[in-house]
Amino acid sequence: MDSRTLNILEFPKLLSALASCAVSEAGSAACLALRPCAHIVDLTEEADFFLQGRIWLESTGFKLSSFPSLDAVLAELDKPNKTLDLDALWTLRRVLRDSALLAKSITQEDNPAGNLTDLWPRLLECCAASPLPEKSLSALNRSISDDGYIKDEASPELLLARREIRSIHQQCARKAGDFARQYNIGRYLQDEFITLASDRYVLPLKSDFKGRLQGIIHDYSQTGETCYFEPMFLVELNNRLQDLKKEEREEERKVLACLSSLLSSERPCLLGTYKLLVRLDVLQAKHRLGLVYAGSMVDFSADFTVDLKNARHPLLALAYARAVDRRKQGAATHNPGEAGRNDVPGVSPPAPVPTDIVLKEGQRVLIISGGNAGGKTVCLKTLGLITLMGMCAMPVPVDKGSVLPVWRFVLPFIGDDQSLEDHVSTFTAQITQLAEHWSDIDRDTLVILDEFGAGTDPSQGAALAQAVIDELLEKGARVFAATHFPALKAYALSKDKVRAASVLFDPLNKKPLYKLVYEQVGASRALAVAHEHGLPETVLKRAQQYLLLDGEDTGILLERLNRLAVEREAEIGALREQSAAYAQKRAKLEEKFAAERKKLFEEIQGEAQNILRDWKSSKISHKQALKTLSRLRANVLQNGADAAQTAAPAETACFRPGQTVFYRPWNKKGLALDIDERRKRVRVDFSGVTMWAERADLSAAQGPEVESGHINISVEINSHQRLDLRGKRADVALVELERFLDSALLRGSEAIEVIHGRGTGALRREIHNYLKNNPAVKAWALAREDQGGDGVTRIELK
């Protein structure tokens, strides 16, 4: 993107706002240097890095603190045999300590139990690619103190020298005190005993008494009332002190040289760590800026889809958010002046109106028409600036789910580029700029035309604009244009791959609503705008007369279209609010359901554990435990069925005789024969066996109609287990019955039913003979006539 594009769309202003959110000078410079990424692979990587970084910031609560720039220090390290000074090393220590805290937060070293690193793998990769210079950090921590001095422990020689220096200080103080007390010279001293002058220990002696003692005068105070006097007994100690000071300076120089050499050897790691720190400062600045105007990341698509949901101009959204924040701060501090302060005295920016900017599949051009000051240019600039921000992996003021393509070029033609010095008019400036970039335009180009061709004859300008858009369509570019030309409005409604849109105005007060409505064109409203801005009525009346004479007044028709569009937008807004309310209600119900499910699970788990505890402690037998668990499961199922029936009862009116129905407890289809409205049940034929079934257990089934059989049994369906053996040979039926009994015993069932049908009665006899000799069977009998009669056997288990 060239600088002209960035300046027209006010991208530098946005970067300045981003830079103000950085915590370091280097981060601010990196923010100002951001440029859109024109390759979808690189952009996807940057977007993933930001999204994962945002999760990291929000999950850990980490806040990067201010850190100094290392650019000058790194440049010094590039020089051979360069020894860094103490300030530079203290700066490096501070930056590396911040980097170590940052790395711990990303790798979650201090939180192994609640490790969240799977949520930000790209940050982990960056940390692994930019390891800390561990040796340098350890040496700096050992050698440099928090207040920026070399520690005694930096080297053994330095420690010995400083210990002896402190010893000499103590000797000098003791001797000076003894001397003052011995010779009673306290009245000669300006201050107590000893001080330093010219890096030597001296006595602050009153000038009037300087000739009474033997020694050396090194200096006088500014008033001349005090002289700094070195007694002869301190001379030898001070000389030794000077030698030790020299040794100390030499050892400090060696420490600085050693640290500088170590840092030079680890310079690649140092540089990588610093770059990562700056990069994360930029990431944090993006996150902070996005929070100001509640921004979201746009999704980038390779199919050139444009769908910006509730888009707002970033600079307008930022100005409004900051004004609101200042008012809140002013109200909190009870400062009316602060609450009303803004960039322009006495003016508070209005809230930007969100609008949808959409090109459907197969559409390549959007032409926006409508009245002056209605928001056409702002809409174009919103698209352009959001595009640039999105291509920098920045959050933008749109709703989630917004989609944009990745354009290689963005060419805006907005504003007046005329120049007296260059002999360029408004029209020629547009043509010149377009001609310069014409050969570069292809399918990866976004072209923004704001009233293109307006600086010349309207008919010729409109014809030229249509021709330009035709050629851009053939090149495959995407075009967003604003116009007042009637010919271009008609072109937008009739041309294939071109979509028309109009800005809306309030039908009552004629004020702009700053909303886009699609598939229609709007009136320019030049006379209405001129009236609002104070042009004399006489001028407006004459203009209206000329307009009627020309026969070009289509304002009434377009005003009606505008009114209908406003009504439609209001209805759509009401539907969206209703939909949002339903979604919120659903979310609350789902949350309540999850809580109740969790509570029920915990209750069942607790009861089951109590049963197992009683069984392990031999309070109940194994069989009693199984039966108790079976009853618990049956109660849960029954409660669930009751709740489902209460929540959504089926209406018998939905069933009709002859309809195929599905019976859920048996997982079988049947034929509805009769409907009992009073008892809310349906008589169903299951391949020859008919029974009354509760309507809550039935649903309409798709498939062939089930033919009715010849046995008519009326039975109330309950929770007993059932086994259907009809149509099977006796040996096969007995094997299945044995397995079914074993399974029922393991589940703790107390009773089961076996459906064998009537027929010749042979299968029924074989089953009854088997039941006589089965020790698990307590009793058995044929069912009542209304429950299946001699076609069903009920079995009670021990």
| Residues paired with residue 161 on neighbouring β-strands, in sequence order | none
Q: What is the pLDDT of residue 48?
A: 93
- HSE toward the beta carbon, residue 543, CA cutoff 13 A: 13
Quick one: average pLDDT of 140-163? 91
Per-residue pLDDT for 524 more than 80?
no
What's the pLDDT score for residue 343? 47
Of 63 and 702, more confident: 63
In the chain, % of residues over pLDDT 70: 85
What pLDDT score does 713 carry? 34
Confidence of residue 250 (pLDDT cuts 50, 70, 90): very high
DSSP string, 229-257: EEEHHHHHHHHHHHHHHHHHHHHHHHHHH
pLDDT band of residue 364 (cuts 50, 70, 90) is: very high
Give how far the C-alpha of residue 190 lies from the chain's centroid of Cα atoms, to the nearest Å. 69
Alpha-carbon distance of 177 to 186, in angstroms, equals 9
For residue 704, pLDDT over 60 is answered with no
Question: How far apart are the C-alpha atoms of 692 and 787, rounded to whole Å?
Answer: 9
pLDDT surpasses 70 at 474: yes
**Contact (CB, 8 A) for 721 and 634:** no
Distance in angstroms (rounded) separating the CA atoms of residues 623 and 629: 10
| pLDDT tops 90 at residue 256 | yes
Flag whether pLDDT at 139 surpasses 60.
yes
**Mean pLDDT, to the nearest integer, of 75-103?**
91
Q: Tell me: the pLDDT tens digits for 397-423?
A: 999 999 999 898 999 998 766 555 554
pLDDT 10s digits, 738-787: 888 877 776 777 788 888 887 788 888 888 888 888 888 888 888 877 67
User: Mean pLDDT, to the nearest integer, of 322-334?
Assistant: 75
Across 554-563, 673-682, 703-712, least confident range: 703-712
Summarize the confidence of residues 524-552 as an average pLDDT.
68
Alpha-carbon gap, residue 38 to 44, rounded angstroms: 11
**46 vs 177 pLDDT, higher one:** 46
Structure confidence by residue, pLDDT tens digits, 101-138: 999 999 887 665 556 778 899 999 999 998 999 999 99
| Mean pLDDT across 552-557 | 54
Confidence of residue 602 (pLDDT cuts 50, 70, 90): confident
Q: Is the pLDDT of residue 492 over 50?
A: yes
Helix (H, G, I), strand (E, B) or coil at 552: coil
Please check whether residue 54 is in contact with residue 62, taking contact to mean a CB–CB distance below 8 angstroms: no
Q: What is the pLDDT of residue 283?
A: 96
Which pLDDT score is estimated for 117?
77
Q: Which residues does 410 contact at the CB level (< 8 Å), separation at least 6?
A: 1, 5, 9, 36, 384, 387, 388, 445, 446, 448
| Torsion sign (Cα): 668, 669, 673, 678 | positive
| CA dist list (Å): 491 to 239, 526, 565, 615 | 98, 21, 20, 85
Per-residue confidence band for 648, with pLDDT thresholds at 50, 70 and 90? very low
Give the residue, 546 or 69, on which the prediction is more confident. 69
Tokens of 596: 């109740």
CA dist., res. 557 & res. 719, Å (int) = 71
> Which sign, positive or negative, has the C-alpha torsion 122, 123, 128, 131?
positive
Whole-number pLDDT of residue 433:
85
How confident is the model at residue 211, as a pLDDT? 72
At residue 646 the predicted structure's pLDDT band, cuts being 50, 70 and 90, is very low
Compute the distance between CA of residue 409 and CA of residue 187 in angstroms, rounded to an integer.
87
Percent of the chain with pLDDT over 90: 33
Asked if pLDDT for residue 348 goes beyond 80, the answer is no
- The answer to whether residue 51 scores a pLDDT higher than 90 is yes
Tell which wins on pLDDT, 516 or 416: 516
Q: What is the mean pLDDT of the chain?
A: 82
What's the pLDDT score for residue 202?
A: 86
Residues 510, 551 contacting (CB under 8 angstroms): no
At residue 319 the predicted structure's pLDDT band, cuts being 50, 70 and 90, is very high
Q: Using 50, 70 and 90 to split pLDDT, how confident is the model at 209?
A: confident
Local confidence band at 718 (pLDDT 50, 70, 90 cut-offs): very low
When pLDDT is cut at 50, 70 and 90, the band that residue 191 belongs to is low
Are residues 348 and 316 in contact, defined by beta-carbon separation less than 8 angstroms?
no
Comparing 82-86, 346-350, 531-535, 648-652, which segment has the lowest mean pLDDT?
648-652
Question: Tell me: the pLDDT tens digits for 442-468?
Answer: 999 999 999 888 878 888 888 999 999
What tokens does 710 get? Answer: 């010849």
Measured in whole angstroms, the distance separating CA 357 from the mean position of its chain's CA atoms is: 22
Lookup result for tokens 């109609």: 705
Q: What is the pLDDT of residue 555?
A: 57
Higher pLDDT, 557 or 346: 557
Q: Is the pLDDT of residue 652 over 50?
A: no
627: tokens are: 């039966």
Helix (H) or strand (E) holding 291: helix 267-292
Instruction: Copy the structure tokens of residue 31.
Output: 């923010």
Residue 10's pLDDT is 94
Structure tokens at 281: 């400062």
